[in-house]
Amino acid sequence: MKMHPNELFFYYNPEHDVDKKMRAYTRSISKYVNEINIQKERITTTGWRIILDKLNLRPKDLLNRAHPDYQHHIAHKTWDDESWLHILVNFPHLIKAPIAIKREKAVFCNKPSEILKLR
């Protein structure tokens, strides 16, 4: 698959207000934006592994631990590395912030200004 060298991949949840606002920021970083709605497009465990490696984070670092679904289904249990990846696949709505990837750089956008690191 041929990609433009300035293509930015933006993984977001359109149900989150912050994610909606961050979409506008993506156009200031690159005019080639590939938006991935994590609610509609299923990301495989391999895809999550690649994203996490670029972010240098663990799966649970991405999750909103205060969400009721996290408390009910995930908290207070022991999970191995593969299970955490399956949690990301099956509970994408628990991801607390959008993820932006451009070339080999990736940022977990807890704050809107984080995306500016990709310039």
Write out pLDDT tens, residues 11-22. Answer: 999 999 888 888
Per-residue pLDDT at 63 exceeds 50: yes
Phi, psi of 34 (to 5 degrees): -105, 100
Section 8-33 average pLDDT: 89
User: How far is it, in rounded angstroms, from Cα 64 to Cα 87?
Assistant: 12
Structure-token pair, residue 50:
């690649």
Percent of all residues in the chain with a pLDDT value above 70, rounded to a whole number: 97
End-to-end CA distance of the chain: 23
Fold of 8-118: Glutaredoxin (3.40.30)
pLDDT recorded at residue 109: 94
Per-residue pLDDT at 2 exceeds 60: no
Per-residue pLDDT at 1 exceeds 50: no
Per-residue pLDDT at 81 exceeds 50: yes
Instruction: Spell out the domain ranges in the chain.
Output: 8-118
Average pLDDT in the chain? 92
Whether the predicted model's global pTM rises above the 0.85 cut: yes
Q: How far is CA 62 from CA 39, 80, 94, 98, in A?
A: 15, 16, 8, 9
